[in-house]
Amino acid sequence: MFYGISQGKMPLDGFRIKHVLKDIQSLNRDALKGKHHITAISTAAYPLVADKYWILSVGASVGRRYGPILVCRPEKMKALKASDWSSLRIATPGPLTTALLLLRLFRKDFISVNKPFDRILHAVKAGQVDAGLVIHEGQLTYKKWGFQKVLDLGRWWHEETALPIPLGLDVVRKDLGRSEAARLAGLLSESIRLAYKNKKDSVRYALKFGRGINAKVGEKFVKMYVNRDTLDMGVEGEEALKELFRRARRAGILRAPCAPEVIRP
């Protein structure tokens, strides 16, 4: 998404951009403090920062019938198929992640074990947990570890709602004002379009952050989460946001209603 901006391939319209590279849970924590002017966050974290940030219509990571997956070693599958998860330990990528929110909506009674997202498969392999909630490229590589898929939360969400699942968002700080926020949305939109026009180079750039995955897997992952919904989440994407927050509220996970406000270029 940031290929055009970060590689100096496009005019920045008077902005100066400093790239801050962190995992999503760290960015969620930063957003609670309003640390960055524009940042990626988990959709689940947005209600906690809605007083500080608007949602951008561009830059969202949206899954259509796919999303975070729950995996386990084969010998643990029977326990995961049972109706009682109260004693099961599941490695999850952070308390503010959308993956964990979705799993809580699917089933409440499990023990969440916070792990950096890139250590979850290791924790499953070592037997430290009964299962792992996998995001990022682990969704495509878990079979190489000999694991089995228990649940695809993106598919479950679609069966429940007939909507896509907005997993991650780009948000912009409200103190910049609506005009500047809209300009930043336009800048990001142009960066994404430029990346698709130069797909070979942009995928090669993105693979620097792919933790050892090859170009074939990298391109597949990019196509999953940098898609037409990324350029504009649209009315359907906004409805998906509202439905996610409504369900979280009904489940007692959100303490107050959240009405998302979206800024377009």
Catalytic residue of the set 19, 122, 136, 158: 136
Q: Is 37 a catalytic residue?
A: no
| CB neighbour burial string for 243-255, b if at least 16 within 10 angstroms, e if fewer | bbbebbeeeebbe
Of 164, 160, 142, nearest in space to 65 by CA: 164
Q: Which conformational region is residue 111 in: left (phi greater than 0), alpha (psi within -120 to 50 degrees), or beta?
A: beta
Percentage helix, strand, coil, to 5, in the chain? 50, 15, 35
Alpha helices in the chain (DSSP H): 3-6, 24-32, 46-49, 77-81, 98-106, 120-125, 138-141, 153-161, 178-197, 199-206, 215-225, 228-231, 234-250
- Give the residue numbers marked as catalytic: 136
